């Protein structure tokens, strides 16, 4: 069951961040870097459970990024200067980051705790800009009750474009899908929730939802199976919401279910991964966080 939409105003109310900082890009990933920032201390030794949910070496995504970053920059959905300036303020814009904005970025993409925020931004831009029928669904993003699609956190919050985010919304044919592939994205997106709100990826009203939509489109276009799409979506969601999925893993552990044995599709569903579902799960795990996380990374 869907909750109310995740608007930019909702996000501003949820956090105490001043409006001026929101306008400067508070919704884009700011804290997670590709490598530990200079002077940072080494993290505490991870437990076996933590390593199973968040592998320190990362998870290889079954996609080829290719020239998508360059194309997003060419059409203006990503303003490279703005993106670079943001990351230089927060530890530096690495060569690995820059390469994903150039042509022929064909190396394997490995999501880790350090680069999850940057990948969130890239996939967010892709989901927002790529032309797809899901963004034209009149029952969700274009529901007249919301007075346009520009007031959501996933649209109004994207400040790293050349021009307004809505000048790129559903505008660019970047990832082309066959009818079968589109049906796959439609089906899978309805079953993947996020703990910052109660909506599925099919209603991508926040940055995590829009980023997941972009990733699903890319995976479907490159022949990734439905089973593997759920598996990768769970891995990605876990890096984007680590406290949430560590709590869910502890819940499963208490019921003698190892994380490697859970059903990704089930865990990504509303029962576990929506804000209300996670709140229920969390209430049954001693010492766990009650909130599902917000829309900043």
Q: What is the pLDDT of residues 236-276, one digit of tens each?
A: 999 999 999 999 999 999 999 999 999 999 999 999 999 99
The Cβ of residue 268 has, within 10 Å, a number of other Cβ atoms equal to 24
Tokens found for residue 239: 């890096």
pLDDT at 163: 96
pLDDT at 7: 52
Q: Cα–Cα distance between 268 and 231 in angstroms, integer?
A: 9
pTM of the model: 0.86
Of 217, 54, 70, which is closest to residue 133 (Cα–Cα)? 217
Q: Cα–Cα distance between 42 and 265 in angstroms, integer?
A: 34
Domain boundaries, the chain: 17-38+46-282
Whether pLDDT at 24 is above 70? no
Banded model confidence at residue 137, pLDDT cuts 50, 70, 90 = confident
Whether pLDDT at 80 is above 70? yes
170-190 burial, b if ≥16 CB within 10 A, otherwise e?
bbbebbebeeebbebbbebbe
pLDDT at 62: 98
Please spell the DSSP secondary structure of the chain, one letter per residue: ---S--BHHHHHHHS---HHHHHHHTTS--S--SSPPTTPPPPPPPPHHHHHHS-TT-EEES---BTHHHHHHHHTSS-HHHHHHHHHTTT---HHHHHTTSS-B-SPEEE-TTTHHHHHHHHHHHHHHB--GGGG-TTTTT-GGGSSGGGBHHHHT---SSS-GGGTTT-B--S---HHHHHHHHHHHTT-B-TTSS-BTTS--SHHHHHHHHHHHHHHHTT--HHHHHHHHHHHHHHHSHHHHHHHHHHHHHTT--GGGS-HHHHHSHHHHSHHHHHHHHTTSTT--SS---S--
Q: Which residues contact 40 (CB under 8 A, 6 or more apart)?
A: none
pLDDT at 286: 81
Report CA Rg, the chain: 18
């Amino acid at each position: 069951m869907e909750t109310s939409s995740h608007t930019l105003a909702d996000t501003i109310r949820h956090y105490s961040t001043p409006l001026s900082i929101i306008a400067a890009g508070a919704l884009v990933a700011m804290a997670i870097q590709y490598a530990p920032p200079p002077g940072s201390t080494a993290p505490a030794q991870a437990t076996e459970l933590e390593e199973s949910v968040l592998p320190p070496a990362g998870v290889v995504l079954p996609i080829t990024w290719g020239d998508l970053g360059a194309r997003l920059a060419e059409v203006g959905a990503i303003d490279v200067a703005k993106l670079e300036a943001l990351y230089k303020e927060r530890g530096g814009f690495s060569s690995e980051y820059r390469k994903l904005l150039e042509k022929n970025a064909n190396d394997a993409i490995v999501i880790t705790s350090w680069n999850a925020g940057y990948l969130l931004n890239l996939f967010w831009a892709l989901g927002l800009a790529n032309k797809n029928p899901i963004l034209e669904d009149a029952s969700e993003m274009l529901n007249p009750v919301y007075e346009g699609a520009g007031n959501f956190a996933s649209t109004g919050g994207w400040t790293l474009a050349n021009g307004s985010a809505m000048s790129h919304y559903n505008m660019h044919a970047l990832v082309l899908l066959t009818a079968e592939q589109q049906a796959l994205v439609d089906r899978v997106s309805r079953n993947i929730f996020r703990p910052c709100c109660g909506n599925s990826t099919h209603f991508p009203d926040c940055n995590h939802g829009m980023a997941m939509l972009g990733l699903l489109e890319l995976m479907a276009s490159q022949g990734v199976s439905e089973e593997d799409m759920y598996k990768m979506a769970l891995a990605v969601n876990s890096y984007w919401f680590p406290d949430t999925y560590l709590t869910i893993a502890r819940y499963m552990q208490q019921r003698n279910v190892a994380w490697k044995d859970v059903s990704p599709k089930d865990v990504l569903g509303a029962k576990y991964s929506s804000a209300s579902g996670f709140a229920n799960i969390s209430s049954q795990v001693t010492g766990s966080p009650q909130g599902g996380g917000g829309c900043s990374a």
